[in-house]
Amino acid sequence: MIHRVGEKEFRIKEEAGEYFSADDILRTLGKDNIFIVQSSGGVTFSGGEPLYQSEFLLEALKACRAGGYHTAVDTSGYSQSENFRAIIPFTNLFLFDIKHLDDAKHISCTGVSNSLIISNFELVLNKGTDMFVRIPVIPGYNDDEEHLGKLRKFLTDHKAKNLKRINLLPFHRIGSSKYKRFSIPYRMSDTQQPSKERMNDLKMYFSETGIKVKIGG
C-alpha cells in the first residue's frame, strides 16, 4: 500500500489473506453444517484462480467430498490439463469462464491464449461432470454480433446433459477501488455496464441453444 505525507511517498507491505489447511476448512464447514444441509449447499473454491494452488485444491476437495460436502470449482480454465484430470473425480460442479473464442483477441485482452481453456472445457464436459458456463458480458470486448454468433454456435455444438446452465455476467466496476488502492491503472473506466434490456436480449439469444440461461450468478 502507498501512503503519502506531504510530497513524500511511503510503501508499506501488507500481508493479505490467511493460511488454511484442509482440516481448517473442514472445521469451518462443521460450524455451519446445519445451514449447509438445510440449504442443500456445499463448498465453492474460487479466487483468483484456485488451480494456481492445484495441490492444495486437490487435497481440500478430497477432504470435503470425504466429509459429504458438495464441491464446486470456479475457474478461468487456464491451468495444465493434468491439474483438471486430478480434481475432476472430486468435483461435483465446475463454474467455467469463457471470455472470448478468438485466440488473438483473448491474448490481447488477457495476456494468454484460449487454446488451453477450450481444451480443458472439452475435457471437463467429456468427463460428464456438471458444468455452468459463465460468460462475462463486456461491452466493446466480447459483445459484438459476430462473436456472439460464434459463441452461441460453440455452445450449441457442445450441448450435453452435464452442461447445465449458461450464466451471463454483466460487466461492473465493483473492483475499481482496489486498483486505486494499489496504484494500478484501471483500464476499464470508459466501459459502460450493459443495460438490463441488453442483458435480457442476450438471455433470449442464448436460450436458443436449448441450455438454461441465467443473468448473473
pLDDT digits (tens, 9 = 90+) for 59-102: 999 999 999 999 999 999 999 999 999 999 999 999 999 999 99
| pTM of the complete model | 0.87
In a domain, 2, yes or no: no
Domain limits at 159? 24-215
Tell me whether residue 1 is in a domain.
no
The mean pLDDT of 39-65, rounded to a whole number, is 94
Q: Is residue 66 part of a domain?
A: yes
Q: Is residue 187 one of the residues assigned to a domain?
A: yes
Give φ, ψ of 74 to 5 degrees.
Answer: -95, 115
Residue-wise pLDDT for 138-184, tens only, equals 999 999 999 999 999 999 999 999 999 999 999 988 878 888 877 88
Query: pLDDT: is 17 or 195 the higher one?
Result: 195
- Answer yes or no: is 7 within a domain: no
Q: Identify the pLDDT of residue 11.
A: 66
- Asked if residue 19 belongs to a domain, the reply is no
Asked whether residue 11 is assigned to any structural domain, the reply reads no
Q: What CATH number is attached to the domain comprising 38?
A: 3.20.20.70
Count structural domains, the chain: 1
Report the chain's mean pLDDT, rounded to a whole number.
91
pLDDT at 197 over 80: yes
